[in-house]
Amino acid sequence: MGSSGVERTFDMDPSYIPYVISAGAIAITSFFVVQSMKRSESFSHSPLRTVPSMTYPLSQFRARTRPQELQQIQIVISPNTALYRFGLPNKDDILGLPIGQHISVMAEINGKPISRSYTPTSSDDDLGHFDLVIKSYSAGNVSKFIGELKIGDGIDVRGPKGAFTYTPNMCRAIGMLAGGTGITPMLQVGTDCRISARFECNHHECLSYLAFVIIRAVLKNPEDKTQLNLVFANVNEEDILLKKDLDGLAAKHDNFKVHYVLNNPPEGWTGGVGFVTKDIIDEHCPKPADGVKILLCGPPPMIAAMTGYTSELGFEKPRAISKLEDQVFKF
């Protein structure tokens, strides 16, 4: 990782777990979260677990390294995308971040404080750690900073941030339009009885991961009967993050369908080609009706186009700043 001298190759199995652990695998920086609360304040227990897990109120917290619990993990996602695991103080602790919400990672770069928002791809089912999948950019700031971290370095993390709250079965059907790395937010609905998400980031990658988080959570909850339809747009096939996971979920669950759209499709490609159009939305998403919601997640130009298309198809026009009751919600 970074200057650690280890070449990174990443992939992820459909359930994210188990991870392959070996002496020759990737060295992932391990962090633990330190409370900013006063000592007199106590942690609240997670209502979703019967094991003695601690949930952290994340009004503000600081993450620091815990070098005695370094983890060597090989997880292949894509050539420029890595999963970073941050260790919590105790092996039974949970992050306690509401599903769908995100956290901000702060860094001082060239003497200036900079923050970026990221969606943890792990959930409170994962004890003792939380995971961030981060795409590194050569000209990026925080993503490059994280990619160059060494064991023993520290970062500042704050959260939670989020305005969208999901309750299982609050909708009969949800259509999701995600672009680029906007997939993570939408993979997270369902495990908890409430899920929140609102993204205010400079990169749309945290939006992509939100999609994955919503989808995975809905499908993990046998009581949630929500029908999920995802249209996922990318440039190249290798850009489709978590494709193996999404395909596995679609094959296993009748209430989840995914349609991929590529600008540069490979030979023999059977999915969509070009950009997401009004016709694609009409064919692969639920029709406008009571109990139907559309979630838009992607870069600003895509959001603008999708807003127009959904309005033309009969959905209510979303507000500039979306509210939970909106039929079309823009992350």
Domain ranges of the chain: 2-161, 164-330
Looking at 171, 206, 285, 297, which residue is catalytic?
297
The third-level CATH classification (topology) of the domain covering 2-161 is: Elongation Factor Tu (Ef-tu); domain 3 (2.40.30)
Catalytic, 260? Answer no
Is residue 33 within 8 Å of residue 63, measured between CB atoms?
A: yes
User: Quick one: which of 161, 159, 256, 177 has its CA closest to 217?
Assistant: 256
Catalytic, 119? Answer yes
In sequence order, what are the residues at sequence separation of 6 or more whose Cβ sits closer than 8 angstroms to the Cβ of residue 112? none
Residue 300, SS3?
Answer: helix
Length of the chain: 331
Q: What is the pLDDT along the chain (331 residues), one digit of tens a residue?
A: 433 333 232 233 323 222 222 222 222 233 333 222 222 222 222 232 222 333 433 333 333 333 323 333 435 455 667 778 877 778 888 887 776 677 888 888 888 888 888 878 887 888 888 888 777 766 667 777 877 776 666 667 787 777 776 778 989 999 999 886 445 455 544 333 233 333 333 334 555 677 787 888 899 999 999 999 999 998 889 888 788 889 999 999 999 999 999 999 999 999 999 999 999 999 999 999 999 999 998 878 888 999 999 999 999 998 888 888 899 998 7
Binding site membership for FAD: which residues? 116, 118, 133, 135, 142-143, 184
Looking at 16, 84, 118, 166, which residue is catalytic?
118
Burial class (CB in 10 A: 0-12, 13-18, 19+), 188: buried
**Overall CATH class of domain 164-330:** alpha beta
